[in-house]
């Protein structure tokens, strides 16, 4: 029997779908942060953070997005060995995203002007990135535990990233974005719907990860908004930034 040569791309509908999801998410991030990060020299008057931590975080998150694009390409090319090696590197990147994300959010909330171009009081808005970082860490940890279950693993990695897209959508240069967090969250949730549509078209039902992780993301979004203005949260947020 002839063995397919390593490096020969073997596409399936599933691989095309997950690569398409990764590319679409990368596009969301690129558009959102083009003026303040990727193409910053071209937009010198655009409001951007001055603290170095945000540019380190941007570089690390860009590495995460590139990894998300590279992984299905490596599988399709038969480079499972490199796919697994990069997966171990991805654990380090994910940990850095969480550490830098939490630290950066606290720095932003401690500014006199708060989060750049966010009209919500900073201690209140801090709930959103903190909730996002906690859930991202949880979903990535579950993806690592499920690394031998390909269907669960890839869904958890996609959904962990979807959980972070609100920050990119919030920076899109379109007027409708001014609707605030419900708009950012709603746009992010379109990726959950796309994954659900894929499940129904290929399995006839939702994969348990799509259902439960997708549900948890949406509940977390609503919960972060519900608790953000409460006394206990504001006291906790004030303690974080002091």
Q: What is the pLDDT of residues 115-140, one digit of tens each?
A: 987 888 999 999 999 999 999 999 99
The share of the chain scoring above pLDDT 90, in percent, equals: 79
pLDDT average, residue stretch 140-154: 95
Contact 51, 107 (CB under 8 A): yes
Q: What is the pLDDT of residues 206-229, one digit of tens each?
A: 999 999 999 999 999 999 999 999
| Distances 99 to 71, 148, 162 between C-alpha atoms, Å | 23, 26, 18
pTM, 2 dp: 0.92
pLDDT average, residue stretch 143-165: 96
Asked whether the predicted pLDDT for residue 6 surpasses 60, the reply is: no
Alpha carbon distance 54, 39 (integer Å): 15
Q: pLDDT at position 4, please? A: 44
Model confidence at 8, pLDDT cuts 50, 70, 90, reads: low
Q: pLDDT at position 201, please? A: 97
Q: pLDDT at position 5, please? A: 47
Report residue 204: phi and psi, to 5°.
80, 0
Alpha carbon distance 33, 169 (integer Å): 9
Q: pLDDT at position 119, please? A: 82
Asked whether the predicted pLDDT for residue 173 surpasses 50, the reply is: yes
Average pLDDT taken over every residue of the chain: 92
Model confidence at 3, pLDDT cuts 50, 70, 90, reads: very low
Q: pLDDT at position 118, please? A: 84
Nearest to 35 by CA among 174, 163, 183: 174
Task: Provide the residue ranges of all domains of the chain, joining segments of one domain with +.
Answer: 13-241
Q: Residues 6 or more apart from 72 whose CB is under 8 A from it?
A: 15, 18, 19, 22
pLDDT average, residue stretch 22-29: 97
Asked whether the predicted pLDDT for residue 108 surpasses 70, the reply is: yes
Q: pLDDT at position 86, please? A: 86
Alpha carbon distance 31, 21 (integer Å): 15
Asked whether the predicted pLDDT for residue 176 surpasses 90, the reply is: no
Task: Please count the CA atoms within 13 angstroms of the CA of 164 that sit on its side-chain side.
Answer: 26
- What's the N-to-C CA distance of the chain in angstroms? 67
Q: pLDDT at position 196, please? A: 98
């Amino acid at each position: 029997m002839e063995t397919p040569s390593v490096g020969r791309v073997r596409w399936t509908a599933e691989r095309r779908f997950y690569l398409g999801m990764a590319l679409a998410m990368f596009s969301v991030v690129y558009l959102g942060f083009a003026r303040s990060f990727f193409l910053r020299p071209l937009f010198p008057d655009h409001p951007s953070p001055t603290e170095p931590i945000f540019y380190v975080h941007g570089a690390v998150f860009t590495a995460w997005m590139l990894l998300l694009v590279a992984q299905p390409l490596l599988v399709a090319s038969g480079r499972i060995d490199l796919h697994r090696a990069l997966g171990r590197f991805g654990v380090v990147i994910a940990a850095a995203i969480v550490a830098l994300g939490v630290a950066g959010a606290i720095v932003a909330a401690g500014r006199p002007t708060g989060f750049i171009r966010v009209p919500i009081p900073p201690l209140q808005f801090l709930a959103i990135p903190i909730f996002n970082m906690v859930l991202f860490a949880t979903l990535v940890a579950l993806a690592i535990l499920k690394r031998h279950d390909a269907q669960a693993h890839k869904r958890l990695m996609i959904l962990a990233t979807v959980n972070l897209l609100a920050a990119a959508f919030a920076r899109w240069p379109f007027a409708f974005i001014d609707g605030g967090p419900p708009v950012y969250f709603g746009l992010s949730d379109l990726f959950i719907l796309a994954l659900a549509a894929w499940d129904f078209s290929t399995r006839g039902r939702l994969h348990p990860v799509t259902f439960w992780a997708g549900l948890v993301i949406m509940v977390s979004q609503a919960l972060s908004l519900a608790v953000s203005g409460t006394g206990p949260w504001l006291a906790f947020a004030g303690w974080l930034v002091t």
